[in-house]
Amino acid sequence: MTGRRRRVFVSLRLKLLAAFAGAFTIVFAFIAIWVFQFTTQTTEQGLIEELTQSARGGATNIDAAVFEELVTTVPSVGGPTLADGTGAGYPDSPLYLDVASSLLDTRRVVTDAGAYSYFRDPSDGRLYFAASAGYLLDPQRGVTYRVPVEGFVSQTTYAFMERGLSETVSEPPYTDEFGSFISAYSPILNDAGQSVGAIGLDYPLDYVDEVQTQTRARLLPVLIGSYAVLFLLVLLLATAITRPVKRLTRATALVAEGNYEVDVSQLITTRFPDELAALADSFSAMAEKVAARERSLTTEVQRLRVEIDQVLREEAVVQLTESDAFADIAGRAAEMRRRMREQPDT
């Protein structure tokens, strides 16, 4: 005979808590991830749109004639910094100062953005940096004049910058040796509508990281607080659900021990009956039927016991009368009665 396998008892309340806690964890994690991604994407998209508009406005703010004169007449600054000895510094030219000032105005609109200009040299077809707003900053920073672009950017960025000579274009977030940026490029057009160069704006993604940090700092306490409140509500709900179940369990245990006077249906009282109330009514009806059946069985057992006792008595009488000893006694009694009848009366 195979014995019953021992099982670990886990309360219904604990199961409800675990189920709801798991469901809440999944839902809250999904909400947190969605809000975080939505905030990041919205911030990046807003930056891209602002940067694109600023690049377009900055390009129109530059005097195309001055820019064209700068890149065609002002030579590069020689020096030992670069291998070819060109683009080693900023030229001392009012043309350069004029373009750099326009770029600085654009940088004031988009704070912390790197604002610069570039052009294609018709002699070799390569892109070179022109004026930079960094020239007017203290300390000076940014690319110097007539530095080859390919030495500072990736092939992907180079391709975007080439497109920027003919149309306003934005480059999605990227990372290079100088950091992580969002960039926008827009052509500088002369009076004939021809491109003489382009403006570039590089915005560091530190702002996006800051927004992400602020989002986490604001979102996590709200989610944790909401999670805690919901967990307490689930605890109260689970307790309210399992309390009548425990009462019903104790009552049915009494019924199982033979106490049929317990009114199970009264243990679960509610204005709006539910499955538990129906279960209590079923147990109450079952207890009544079991009690009636037990009373009927008791009466039947008593009746059978009387009948069995009567049969046993009759069998005992039969066994007694049919025994040899009883026959011998009966014979002696009959002989004594015969003799008594034969004796004369005195």
The pLDDT tens digits of the residues spanning 126-158 come to 999 999 999 999 888 888 899 999 988 999 999
In a domain, 31, yes or no: yes
Q: Give the Cα separation of 167 and 90 in Å (integer).
A: 27
Tell me what pLDDT residue 132 has: 94
- pLDDT tens for residues 259-278? 666 666 565 666 656 666 67
Sheet holding 179-189, edge to edge: 127-132, 114-120, 195-204, 179-189, 169-176
The verdict on 196 and 273 lying in the same domain is: no
User: Percentage of residues in the chain with pLDDT exceeding 90?
Assistant: 30
- pLDDT tens for residues 201-227? 998 887 667 766 777 777 778 778 887
Boundary of a domain, candidates 195, 213, 231: 213
Question: What is the mean pLDDT of the segment spanning 296-313?
Answer: 77
Give me the CATH number covering residue 147. 3.30.450.20
Across 10-14, 29-33, 187-191, 268-272, the highest mean pLDDT is recorded for: 187-191
The verdict on 181 and 35 lying in the same domain is: yes
Tell me what pLDDT residue 85 has: 39
Return the closest-CA partner of residue 262 out of 279, 280, 277, 244: 280
In a domain, 32, yes or no: yes
Tell me what pLDDT residue 83 has: 43
The verdict on 143 and 17 lying in the same domain is: yes
- Give me the domain span that covers residue 68: 12-213
Boundary of a domain, candidates 192, 213, 234: 213
The verdict on 273 and 170 lying in the same domain is: no
Domain count, the chain: 2
In a domain, 228, yes or no: no
The verdict on 193 and 89 lying in the same domain is: yes
Boundary of a domain, candidates 158, 192, 213: 213
The verdict on 67 and 180 lying in the same domain is: yes
DSSP conformational letter for 21: H
In a domain, 223, yes or no: no
The pLDDT confidence band at residue 28, using thresholds 50, 70 and 90, is confident
The verdict on 200 and 264 lying in the same domain is: no
In a domain, 270, yes or no: yes
In a domain, 49, yes or no: yes
- pLDDT tens for residues 87-102? 568 899 999 999 999 9
In a domain, 229, yes or no: no
Tell me what pLDDT residue 11 has: 75
- pLDDT tens for residues 115-134? 999 999 999 999 999 999 99
In a domain, 206, yes or no: yes
The verdict on 177 and 290 lying in the same domain is: no
The verdict on 208 and 125 lying in the same domain is: yes
Q: Give the Cα separation of 200 and 129 in Å (integer).
A: 10
Q: Give the Cα separation of 123 and 125 in Å (integer).
A: 6
| CA R_g for the chain | 52
